[in-house]
Amino acid sequence: MMHFDVLTLFPEMFAAVDTSIVGRAREKGLVEFNFVNIRDFSNDKHNKADDYPFGGGPGMLMMADPIFGAMGSVDAGHKKVIYMSPRGRVIDKDKLVDLSREEELVILCGHYEGVDQRALDYWDAEEISIGDYVLTGGELPAMVLIDALARLVPGVLASEEAATEESIYSGLLEYPQYTKPRNYQGMEVPEVLTNGNHKLIHLWNFEEALKLTRDLRPDLFEEFVKNHRELNKDEQKVMEKVINML
C-alpha cells in the first residue's frame, strides 16, 4: 500500500481521486489518502494562510506557520516531502519509479505566488514539476503525480504488464492500437493485428513504436538506438529498417 498525505488549501478539488482506477484502488486498500486543509492550522480567526511577500512583488505568499502545523500533523519529519512547483524537476519515468518505492509521501500544494521558503527548507521538500508552465495552484499537478504513482502500485492495474505498457520497448512512444469494428467508415484495422500471429504482431508494434518515436521524439529515438542492447535478431532487423528510412 502507498499512503499519501496531501496538504492543500482546497481539499475539495481532490474528489477526482475517488473515481476510476485510483478510486477502485483506494477501495481495495492499495492506496490511501489523507487530505489536510492547511487553513485548519492558521492562527488567524479568519483562517488566513497567506500574506504579502517581504521585499514586495505581485500576489500573495502562503505563510510558513500554517504549513508547519499541517506538516507536523502528518509527522512529515519521518516521510518523503514533495512540493509541487514549476521550478522543480519535471517528472519522468525514472523519477516516478524512484518515488514509487516510498511507502508514504507528503505532497504540499502551493497556491498564489508560492510558499514561504522556510517551509520548504525546514521540511527538506523536494520540488517536483509536471511541465515548464505555471498553473494557479499545486492541486492539479499533485493529482497528476498521484495518478502516475498509483498505477505503479502492485495490484492497482489488471496486470503487472499494464503498469509499464507505455514503456515495453524502453524509451519508445506507444504504438497505435485498434478495437472493434475491423472496418469503420472505410478505415481498416491493419491486417497483421487480426491474423493471430503473435510474433508478427509484436514486430509490427515494435516497428510502429520506432517510427512514431523517430518522427515525434527524435531525441528519444536517438537515445534508444544508441543505448539499447536487448534486441533479438528480428527486432534488430526492424530497427535497422526504420533507421534506413531516414
Residue list for the binding site: 110, 130-135
Locate 28 and state its grid cell.
481495495
CA dist 75 and 7 (Å) reads 12
CA dist 197 and 208 (Å) reads 17
* DSSP, res 38: G
The secondary structure of 6-25 as a DSSP string is EEES-GGGGGGGGSHHHHHH
CA dist 168 and 218 (Å) reads 18
CA dist 88 and 96 (Å) reads 14
Point out the annotated binding site for S-adenosyl-L-methionine.
110, 130-135
